[in-house]
Amino acid sequence: MARKNGKSLLISGVILYEFLFGKNPANKRQLYTAANDRKQAGIVFGMVKDRLRALMRKDPGIKRMVKITRDELVNLDDGSTIRSFSRDTGLVDGYEPHVAVVDEYANAKTTDMIETLASGQVLLLVI
């Protein structure tokens, strides 16, 4: 898809669906939005958070099931989380991502982030 055609918005729906309704593994799925810098990484995370808040306004069950903080979304039913990180934070190692979205990867200077995420056997979405 070309620039400005809604790739980030589309992918935010995929990660939100997996966060709320994913079943494999059943508990403690780790989902990440990532990019080369913190600001870019926060764009998809912010879209997920906004869509989740909209769902919470419509569905009391989802409102009871989710906790939203500045840096993390937590599914209280199964312990799954969504976090955002960037290449410069160095937070990729040591986690076991289930789904990761890497935004603006074409601007990456190295392949380190993709290689580290892929080694975790993750569903990797690169936009």
What's this model's pTM, rounded to 2 decimal places?
Answer: 0.82
Q: Output the pLDDT for position 55.
A: 97
What one-letter code names the amino acid at 42?
G
Q: Is the dihedral of CA 115, 96, 39, 55 positive or negative?
A: positive
User: Mean pLDDT lowest for which of 45-49, 94-98, 110-114?
Assistant: 110-114
User: How far is the C-alpha of 35 from the C-alpha of 102, rounded, in Å?
Assistant: 5
Could you report the per-residue pLDDT of 48-82, keeping only the tens digit for each?
Answer: 999 999 999 999 999 999 999 999 999 999 999 99
User: How far is the C-alpha of 19 from the C-alpha of 116, rounded, in Å?
Assistant: 21
Q: Which residue has the higher pLDDT, 109 or 74?
A: 74
